[in-house]
Amino acid sequence: MSIVITCPRYFSEVKNLNELIMNEEYSVELVTPKGQGFDAKEMKKNLRNSKIAVVGDDEINDDVINSCPKLELIIKWGVGTDNINISKNFPKVLNTPGDIYIDVAEHVIYLIGSLLKQIPYIHKELLISTEWNKPIGTRLMDKNLGFIGFGSIGQYTAKLLKPFGVNIFYYDPYSDKSDNSIALKKDLKFLQKTSDILVVTASLTEETRHLVNKQFFNNLEKKPYIVNVSRGEIINEEDLIYALDKNLISGCALDVFEKEPVIDGNPLRGFNNVIFSTHNASNTLEANNSVNQQVTNTLLKWISE
């Protein structure tokens, strides 16, 4: 029986997995995507003979499942399963969040600092120019930070940010778990009115898809910085370009995009106040080890049952 792995971040664990399985009944096959993940057509081919699949950000839909009759279990490496859009109850789909929230939260801090102090711009200018450019930065202290989505990533990020002396608010209809000494729950209009920095940490659902759009940007009362470490589709990218063109926001830092990887012709590449990250916020040795161990334990448990 075949275990197919399409998530490169799990490849380093395969030797350990093989030693733990020690079962000739199972064979492990590694398939490497060229970009962020395989599309549905490619996954039909990759999984056609598999019983268990360990996947990353690959596209899986009913058409894929119908083409893979042997498939019993899909293990999603990491948290979000929005790339797995199936109507069937079988195969079983399990995610493996590990402690990724720590690494993503730290990444948010670095992106905010890079935006406020214009660090990537200074670095780029120093490389291509002999001029000693010294743009004026912005202090983080006393800023209003608004979180769109307040699950484990948002809550941990807020805890890390609180010692900077910031005021933290969040919009999340499904979360009431916040310590009020750290963050206050508000509606989306409040965040649009008061935020100096907006951080997107919501899950991608039909409710949140393109939640941040032209109407959202037009209703902003300040010119906030925007950080997105969740899913690219939550922000309408065309409308984000409009907001940058109209100077409705001060800049943005994006770890995720509507289409990944980002193509050469993407207009976002033309703005000096846009910071790019390659869907890489959780990619640390510690996070990889945590999730890999959870994937292995989940897989072994399934096999033994």
Q: Which residues are catalytic?
A: 231, 260, 279
Instruction: Read off the amino acid at residue 226.
Output: I
Name the percent of the chain in helix, strand, coil, to the closest 5. Answer: 40, 20, 45
Q: Look at the chain and count its residues.
A: 305
**Helix ranges (DSSP H) in the chain:** 14-21, 40-46, 62-66, 100-117, 119-128, 152-161, 188-194, 214-218, 237-245, 285-304
CA dihedral 145, 183, 96, 54 (to 10 degrees): -20
**Paired tokens of 96:** 């493996």
Q: What is the DSSP string of 171-209?
A: E-TT-----TTT-EE--HHHHHHH-SEEEE-PPP-TTTT
Whether the bond into 261 is cis, omega within 30 of 0 = yes
Q: What's CA 120's distance to the chain center, in Å?
A: 21
Confirm if 246 and 223 have CB atoms less than 8 A apart: no
C-alpha span between 17 and 292 (Å, rounded): 10
Confirm if 183 and 231 have CB atoms less than 8 A apart: no
C-alpha span between 129 and 110 (Å, rounded): 25
